[in-house]
Copies of this chain bind each other. A is one copy, B any other.
Amino acid sequence: MIGILAGILTTISAMPQALKTIKTRDVSGLSFWMYLTLVTGQILWLIHGTIIVDWGLILSNTISLIINGIIFFLIIKYQRQQHK
């Protein structure tokens, strides 16, 4: 039970950050390298989960990859605008 709750919390944890970044467009304090590392790691988790057919890994990493992917995209978009 604790593992399921832990999995749900860590999977959805980036949601408030995505909503805040979409609303405020404030990416100055966000680390490009964190989200690059995180997204890369989650893609590897997704590949690993698919290879061993672990639906917990597949589901949680698909959801958090979408959310972190949105944040990563917004960081690239708005940090590039700031450097023009």
Residues of A within 8 A of B (CB): 2-3, 5-10, 12-17, 19-21, 24, 26-35, 37-38, 40-42, 44-45, 47-48, 51-52
A26-B28, A28-B28, A29-B26 known; A44 vs B9 contact (CB < 8 Å): yes
A2-B47 Cα distance, complex, nearest whole Å: 8
A17-B30, A29-B20, A31-B17 known; A38 vs B9 contact (CB < 8 Å): yes
Partner of A30, one of B10, B29, B48: B29
CB–CB B12/A42 < 8 A = no
Contacts of A6 in B (CB 8 A): 41-42, 44-45, 47-48
A68-B14 Cα distance, complex, nearest whole Å: 13
A41-B7 Cα distance, complex, nearest whole Å: 7
Least CB distance from A12 to B in Å reads 7
